[in-house]
Amino acid sequence: MLEIRWHSRAGQGAVTGAKGLADVVSTTGKHVQAFAFYGSAKRGAAMTAYNRVDDHEILNHEKYMNPDFVFVIDPALVYTTDVTINDKPETVYIITTHMSTDELVASQPKLNGKKVYTVDCIKIAQETIGRAIPNTPMLGAFMKISGMYDIEFFKESMKRILAKLPPKIVDANMDAIQRAYDEVK
Chain residues that interact with another protein, rule: CB under 8 A = 15, 18-19, 22-23, 26-27, 31-36, 38, 41, 58-64
The nearer residue to another protein, 124 or 148, going by C-beta atoms, is 148
Distance of alpha carbon 170 from alpha carbon 163, whole angstroms:
7
The nearer residue to another protein, 15 or 83, going by C-beta atoms, is 15
The nearer residue to another protein, 4 or 172, going by C-beta atoms, is 4
What minimum distance in Å lies between the beta carbon of 27 and another protein? 8
What minimum distance in Å lies between the beta carbon of 38 and another protein? 7
Task: Report the sign of the C-alpha dihedral through residues 69, 72, 78, 83, in that order.
Answer: negative
Helix (H, G, I), strand (E, B) or coil at 117: strand
What minimum distance in Å lies between the beta carbon of 61 and another protein? 4
The nearer residue to another protein, 50 or 93, going by C-beta atoms, is 50
What minimum distance in Å lies between the beta carbon of 63 and another protein? 4
What minimum distance in Å lies between the beta carbon of 7 and another protein? 18
The nearer residue to another protein, 54 or 171, going by C-beta atoms, is 54
Q: β-strands 46-54, 31-37: how paired?
A: antiparallel
Q: Cα–Cα distances in Å, from 159 out to 133, 152, 166?
A: 16, 11, 11
Helix (H, G, I), strand (E, B) or coil at 166: coil
Closest-CA residue to 27 (of 161, 123, 147):
161
